Amino acid sequence: AAKFKDLKPNMGVIFKFGSKPGILIMAADGSLRALSAVCTHLDCTVKYRPDLQKIHCACHNGMYDLNGQNLSGPPPRPLRQFKVAQKGDDVIVTRA
Ligand code: FES
């Protein structure tokens, strides 16, 4: 999904997970998580918002926390969580 050296705390990157986008987030505390980037409302691609430290969907102002839990706006369900592992400098994401 990414090179570890390209990540820094409080950032998110979109990567391709099969045919769909995923989002890899390095939280402010340096921990990594990966989730589906497909909004559970109408399938827009979500983004990490460093200013809010949350995941945001700009289509209809949907908000998720860093575990993918839907917090506000129209999204009806959490984002799917993936498994993250680090191998050397590579960050590997697999289905949980
Ligand atoms: Fe994400 Fe509507 S598609 S909030």
pLDDT one-digit tens code per residue, 6-63: 999 999 999 999 999 999 999 999 999 999 999 999 999 999 999 999 999 999 999 9
- Going by CA atoms, what residue is nearest to atom 2 of ligand 1? 60
Both tokens of 10, joined, read 């409080």
- Going by CA atoms, what residue is nearest to atom 3 of ligand 1? 42
Give CA 71 to chain center in angstroms. 15
pTM of the complete model: 0.95
Q: Please choose from 40, 42, 64 the residue to mutate so as to test ligand 1's pocket, defined by most ligand atoms within 8 A of CB.
A: 42
Q: Helix count (H) and strand count (E) of the chain? A: 0, 10
